[in-house]
Amino acid sequence: MGYNDIADEIYRLREERHKALAEEAGKKGSKQRLEDMEKFLNEQSTLLEEYDEQLVRRLIEKITVYDDKLTIEFKSGVEIDIEK
């Protein structure tokens, strides 16, 4: 194996390491958002009798409307589809 081959391998391994570290950071961030959501929900009263703007803004990132479904994306990163 020549110098150039070794240098290419080092760069390739560095890139793989960078990708792995970025993926791990993403997983930790997602886990933290889920824990924050769980803590917030545990602090809320269990019975909702009317629309709560603060709760919606705290939990939901966005709602996408399609012809046949709604997709709700929570701030935790979880997505659910609701069929019409």
Q: 68 pLDDT band (50/70/90 cuts)?
A: very high
Residue 83: pLDDT over 80: yes
Percent of the chain with pLDDT over 90: 17
pTM above 0.75, yes or no: no
Question: 82: which residues sit within 8 A by CB, 6+ positions away?
Answer: 69, 70, 71, 72
Q: State the CB neighbour count (10 A cutoff) for residue 77.
A: 14
CB 59 within 8 A of CB 65: no
Structure confidence by residue, pLDDT tens digits, 41-56: 788 777 777 888 888 8
Helices (H), the chain: 3-43, 53-59
